Amino acid sequence: MEPLSSFFAVSVILLGIGIYGLTTKRNAIRILFSIELIYNAANLNIIAFARLRNPPIVTGQVLVLFTIALAAMEAAVGLSIIILVSRLNADIDLSKLSKLKG
C-alpha cells in the first residue's frame, strides 16, 4: 500500500493546478475546469484519509459520492449560465462581464 503522503501529494498538486487556473484564466469554461479539478483534489483526499486511517471507514466513500453528485449539478447549472451569457454577450470572457456593475 502506498503511504498517505503520495496520494496527498497528487491531491495537493491537483489543488495547486486548479487554483492557478482559477486565478489566471478568464474564460468561463476554463474556470469551470479549475473548479472541477479542485473538487477532484478534495475527493481524492477524502478517500485517501478514510482508507488509510486505522481501521478504514466507509464514511469517506459516502461523502465522496455526495460530492461527485454535487459537482455534476454544479457543472450543469454553470454550463447553462455560460450558454445564457454567450447568447446575451457573444463572449464568455468573465472580465468583460460588467453589465451588472451599475
Site for other proteins in 50-69 (CB under 8 A): 50-62, 64-66, 68-69
Establish if 88 lies at the interface with other proteins (CB under 8 A): no
Name the minimum Å distance from CB 46 to other proteins: 10
Grid coordinates in use for 23?
A: 486565478
Q: How far is the CB of 89 from other proteins (least distance, A)?
A: 10
Supply φ then ψ for residue 35, to 5 degrees.
Answer: -65, -40
Please tell me whether residue 86 binds other proteins under the rule CB under 8 A: yes
Cα gap 33→21, rounded to integer Å: 8
